[in-house]
Amino acid sequence: MEKVAVLGAGSWGTALAIVLADNGHHVSLWGRREEQVLEINEEHRNERYLPGIELPETIHATVKVEECLKDAETLVLVTPTKAMRDVLGQLKPILSRPVTIVHASKGIEPGTYKRISEIIEEEIPADLLKAVVVLSGPSHAEEVSLRQPTTVTVSSENNDAAENVQDLFINQNFRVYTNPDVVGVELGGALKNIIALGAGLSDGLGYGDNAKAALITRGLAEIARLGTHMGANPLTFSGLTGIGDLIVTCTSVHSRNWRAGNMLGKGMALDEVLANMGMVVEGVRTTQAAYELSKREQVEMPITAVLYDVLFNNKGAKQAVDDLMQRTRTHEVEDVSSLKG
């Protein structure tokens, strides 16, 4: 059993802390607010992020990053993508020996178009980094905290590190696979949030299951198109971190991205939606990043492009769906010759 530092006491950080504590590890959870830390340590609850869940008493929360990191060889980063560089900047001066950094966040950085593992490698000097491991897959915190069956994938360029992290997290309710395709695992997890916003928007407009199935399927096509262009293995997109996470995020009321899209589809303004949510909606910034990246790389992403206009150019939700339905007719699969015997 080892000490694990979890940085980010929101819904996902707390749910992952529960998995680690259930596995007998000593978990130190870093939160930003004193009253939240007190609530976790004294009442064993984190009501704002995981209402009604009793936390294992062995989870110890702290606002002090030094205390959280002390004696931990594995750090689990679970803050919103937007906060990553800031958090890594706070860790860097404290680290005195190499650590494994696992991240479980899902996003791409606007402007740089970097994946989170790339941001970690940029911010933390190589001599302080044993390995970077990504943890991703269809896993809502609300269900993980109830110990409901969940599967995820861990991915790293360092296979031993991926297997160590698999060992740390795996238990009878939380099954962990490995996959060496870091690019595919990270891009699948980040880009599905865009499509989940679209699925929520479609539901908010009152459209049905046909529309949602279309969004999931054509969404997967554009995720795989950008992903393979960026170097991912296309097979990864048929796995847990591709279609698996798309299904859960596009169909679950737990999804923050689906819920945000749903409110937009019902006519609420983006500012109001985000103010209402009180939790991170990663798909908004990732839509901006993916839209710009797809333009730069000349990769067609029609769903991402109309959502970009809904989020940032005041396009109406219904108009967005009409635009998608009225695109120039085309083949379903780009390389049609590959379908012929």
Ligand X SMILES: NC(=O)C1=CN([C@@H]2O[C@H](COP(=O)(O)OP(=O)(O)OC[C@H]3O[C@@H](n4cnc5c(N)ncnc54)[C@H](O)[C@@H]3O)[C@@H](O)[C@H]2O)C=CC1
Ligand Y SMILES: O=C(CO)COP(=O)(O)O
Residue positions forming the annotated binding site: 11-12, 32-33, 49, 106, 137, 139, 141, 192, 245, 255-257, 280, 282
Of the candidates 200, 321, 218, the residue with the CA atom closest to the CA atom of residue 268: 200
Q: What is the helix (H) or strand (E) element at residue 319, kind and residue range?
A: helix 317-325
The neighbouring-strand residues paired with 61 are 29
**x-or-dash pattern for ligand Y, window 221-250, by CB under 6 A?**
------------------------x--xx-
At 16, the amino acid letter reads L
CB 30 within 8 A of CB 62: yes
Of the candidates 284, 211, 281, the residue with the CA atom closest to the CA atom of residue 251: 211
Q: Is 150 in the site for ligand X (CB under 6 A)?
A: no
Among 8, 80, 110, 138, binds ligand Y (CB under 6 A): 138
Q: Is 140 in the site for ligand Y (CB under 6 A)?
A: yes
> Which residues are annotated as catalytic?
192
Among 46, 105, 202, 257, binds ligand Y (CB under 6 A): 257
- State the minimum distance, in angstroms, from the CB of residue 188 to ligand Y: 10
CB nearer ligand X, residue 190 or residue 211: 190
CB nearer ligand X, residue 128 or residue 279: 279
Q: Name the binder of 268 from ligand X, ligand Y, none, CB < 5-8 A by kind.
A: none
Contacts with ligand X in 272-311 (CB under 6 A)?
Answer: 279-280, 282
Looking at beta carbons, which pairs linking 166-172 to residues 24 or more positions away fall under 8 Å?
A: 168/2, 168/4, 168/20, 168/23, 168/25, 168/74, 169/16, 169/19, 169/20, 169/23, 169/135, 170/23, 171/19, 171/22, 171/23
Q: Which phi and psi (to 5°) does residue 113 adopt?
A: 60, 25
Q: Tell me the binding residues for sn-glycerol 3-phosphate.
A: 106, 137, 139, 192, 245, 255-257
CB nearer ligand Y, residue 103 or residue 256: 256
Rg, Å, the chain Cα set: 20
Q: State the distance between the two ends of the chain, measured CA to CA, in whole angstroms.
A: 54
CB nearer ligand Y, residue 25 or residue 106: 106
CB 78 within 8 A of CB 12: yes
Q: Tell me the binding residues for NADPH.
A: 11-12, 32-33, 49, 106, 141, 256, 280, 282
Q: Name the binder of 79 from ligand X, ligand Y, none, CB < 5-8 A by kind.
A: ligand X
Cα 242-257-194 angle, rounded to 5 deg: 50
- State the minimum distance, in angstroms, from the CB of residue 145 to ligand X: 9
CB nearer ligand Y, residue 68 or residue 201: 201
Residues that bind ligand Y (CB under 6 A): 106, 138-140, 193, 196, 245, 248-249, 255-257, 282
Residues that bind ligand X (CB under 6 A): 8-13, 32, 49, 78-81, 83, 86-87, 104-107, 139-141, 279-280, 282
